[in-house]
Amino acid sequence: MQQVLNGIFAGSIYALFAIGFTLVFGVLDRLNLAHAAVFTTSAYVGIELVADLGLSIWLAIPAVLVMGAVLGLVIERVAFRPLKGRHDAHFAGLISSIAVGGMFLALLQARYGPDTRRFPADAFPSTDFELGGVRITLLQLVILGVSLGLMLGLAYLVNRTRLGRGMRAVAENPHAAAVLGVNVDRVTATTFAISSALGAVAGVLLAFYVNSAQMTMGFNIELKGLAVIIVGGMGSLKGAMIGGIALGLAEVFAVQYVGSSWRDVVAFGLLFGILLLRPQGLFGARQVREV
């Protein structure tokens, strides 16, 4: 039971990260590999806000959310907007976002140094609850609550608002959307901002959860995020959410039943199997292209 909860908490962070990833892919058909750098940046910035400026985590999370949104706009402007309409935009976008991500990390090292950064030992109250032999900390509940809250908020945004309609129209067909009066550029930029804001919150939550931020943390979650969006179905928000939690649980059960050395093999084996059986992912719709 403790393990199931471990899986759900870790999985909710994966899910939040992956939703940002899949949002850009779903709407714009681009993979933004700088997403992981935003994740790392926000973890460091979050620690600085809490540890050095003494902000409470309730203020740090919104602050990081805003910062993530700004970084998202920067990424869109620098790495993706200039490629618009180019024939090789697909591959070029991968590379330009890798380049921008690398620059973010370099700046991060310039500001914070290469060392792992942590919150001071007493940054949060270590309240925990014990229910039937299962220990849950207040922090874990906060993490779960924030992740779920943001995911539901996003679902509302996409399904119920004007902006969401614009995003869905662009996802369907950018040209048609432009004809219908959607400002494609603005929708694109907003999508990046929302995506990065979610990635940023995921970063700071993970930093809270494991009490550390390191330069390489983005690489690990990037791989997992890719796995999640495939498992859930490219571009499917519901899929990324369920996929994230499924991956968290799969890892935990791999540790318990297969052996910790093989944990990542299980995760990627799952990914591989799903790709072969259901290439569109669990919740992705198969696209029918007419000639």
Partner 1 sequence: MRIRTASVSTAAALALLVTGCASEDPADTAAPAPQASGGGGGSGEDCVIEEPVPVGAALSLTGAAASYGQSQQKGLEVALDDLAEKEGVTYELAIEDDATDPKQGIAVFEQFISREPVSIILGPTLSNAAKTTDPIAQEEGVPVLGISNTAAGITEIGDYIFRNSLPETAVIPQTIAKAKESLGLEKVVVMYSNDDAFTESGFTAFEAALEEEGLETVETLTFSKADTDFRALLTEAKAAQPDALVVSGLIEAAIPLVTQARELGIEVPIIGGNGFNSPQLMADAGAAAEGVIVGAAWNSASESEENAAFLEAFEAKHDGKPDQFAAQAYTGMMLVDAAVRAGCSAERDAIQASLGSLQDIPTPLGTFSFDNREPQHPAVVQIVEGGTFTVLD
Partner 2 sequence: MLGDYTATLTLIALTAIFAYSFYAVLMAGQLSLGQAGLASLAGFSATVVMPDSPVVGLSPLVVGIPVGMLVGACVAFLLGLPVMRLRGVFLAIATLGFAEMVRIVLINAEWTGGAQGTSVPKLVTPGIAWGCLLLVAYWFWRLGGSRFGRGLAAIREDELAARAMGVHISRYRMAAFVTSGAIAGMYGVLLAYFSRFITPDDFGFAAAVDGLVTAVVGGSLLFLGPLLGSGFLTSVPEIQRALGVEAGWIRPFLSGLLLLVVILFLPGGLSSLIPRWRTPRLDPSIPAPELPALPPPGTSVLSLKGLGKAYGGLHAVRSVDLELGSGEILGLIGPNGAGKTTLVNLISGLSVPTSGTGTVLGIPLGPEGQGHRFARAGVSRTFQHSKLFDRLTVLENALVGAHVVTRPTLLRRLLWLPSARRDEQRALAQAGAQLARVGLADRAGVNAGALSYGDRRRLEIARALAAHPTLLILDEPAAGMNHVEAQELSTLIRTLAEDGITVLLIEHNVRMVLETCTRIVVLNFGGVIAAGDPATIAKDPVVIEAYLGSDGPADSRV
With beta carbons less than 8 A apart as the criterion, state whether 44 and 117 touch.
yes
Q: In whole angstroms, what is the distance from residue 220 CA to residue 264 CA?
A: 11
Q: Which is nearer to partner 1, 56 or 216 (CB)?
A: 216
Q: Which does 120 bind (CB under 5 to 8 A by kind): partner 2, partner 1, none?
A: partner 1
Helices (H), the chain: 2-28, 35-47, 57-75, 89-112, 138-160, 162-172, 174-179, 184-210, 217-232, 237-253, 263-277
Q: Which residues pair with 135 in a beta bridge?
A: 130
Compute the least distance from the CB of residue 94 to partner 1, in Å. Answer: 21
Nearest to 171 by CA among 198, 151, 191, 194: 191
Q: Does 280 bind partner 1 (CB under 8 A)?
A: no
Applying CB under 8 A, does 62 fall inside the site for partner 1?
Answer: no
CA separation for the pair 197, 238 (Å, rounded): 18
Exactly one of 52, 122, 130, 290 binds partner 2 (CB under 8 A); which one?
290
3-state secondary structure of 88: coil
For the CB of residue 206, give the shortest distance to partner 1 in the complex, in Å: 8
Residue 79 partner contact from partner 2, partner 1, none using kind-dependent CB cut-offs of 5 to 8 Å: partner 2
> If binding is defined by CB under 8 A, does position 127 make contact with partner 1?
no
> Tokens 């200039």 identify what position?
82
198: tokens are: 């979610």
Positions 156 through 175 that interact with partner 1 (CB under 8 A): none
Q: Which is nearer to partner 1, 82 or 102 (CB)?
A: 102
Partner from partner 1, partner 2, none contacting 260, C-beta within 5 to 8 A by type: partner 1
Phi and psi at 289, nearest 5°, equal -100, 130
Q: Which does 10 bind (CB under 5 to 8 A by kind): partner 1, partner 2, none?
A: partner 1
The window from 46-54, 136-144, 159-167, 275-283 that contacts partner 2 (CB under 8 A) reads 275-283
Does residue 103 touch partner 2 according to CB under 8 A?
yes
The reply on whether position 106 binds partner 1 by CB under 8 A is yes
Considering only 73, 83, 184, 210, the residue that binds partner 2 (CB under 8 A) is: 83
Residue pair 97/34 in contact (Cβ under 8 Å)? The answer is yes
Q: Which two tokens stand for residue 51?
A: 């540890």
Taking CB under 8 A as the criterion, the residue among 15, 23, 246, 271 binding partner 2 is 271
Residue 180 binds: one of partner 1, partner 2, none (C-beta under 5 to 8 A by kind): none
